[in-house]
Chain A
Amino acid sequence: GQNIDQPTEMTATEGAIVQINCTYQTSGFNGLFWYQQHAGEAPTFLSYNVLDGLEEKGRFSSFLSRSKGYSYLLLKELQMKDSASYLCAVMTGRDDKIIFGKGTRLHILP
Chain B
Amino acid sequence: KAGVTQTPRYLIKTRGQQVTLSCSPISGHRSVSWYQQTPGQGLQFLFEYFSETQRNKGNFPGRFSGRQFSNSRSEMNVSTLELGDSALYLCASSPGTARNYGYTFGSGTRLTVV
Contacts and interface: CB of A to CB of B under 8 A. Distances in A.
Interface string A2-45: 00000000000000000000000000001101010000011111
Contacts, number: 57
Contacts of B41: 102
Contact of A42 (B33, B44, B102, B107): B107
A80 to B, nearest CB: 22
Contacts of A41: 107
A84 interface: no
B102 A48 contact: yes
B1 to A, nearest CB: 15
Contact of A98 (B4, B33, B100, B106): B33
Interface string B75-114: 0000000000000001000000111111111111000000
B105 A103 contact: no
B104 A45 contact: yes
Dominant secondary structure of chain A at its interface with chain B: strand
B63 interface: no
A31 B99 contact: yes
Contacts of B98: 33, 91, 96, 98
B24 to A, nearest CB: 14
B43 interface: yes
Given A42-B105, A42-B108, A43-B105, A50 B55 contact: no
B42 A101 contact: yes
Contact of A35 (B4, B55, B102): B102
Contacts of B99: 30-31, 48, 50, 91, 96
Contacts of A33: 98, 102
Given A95-B56, A96-B98, A44 B105 contact: yes
A104 B44 CA distance: 15
Nearest to B57: A97
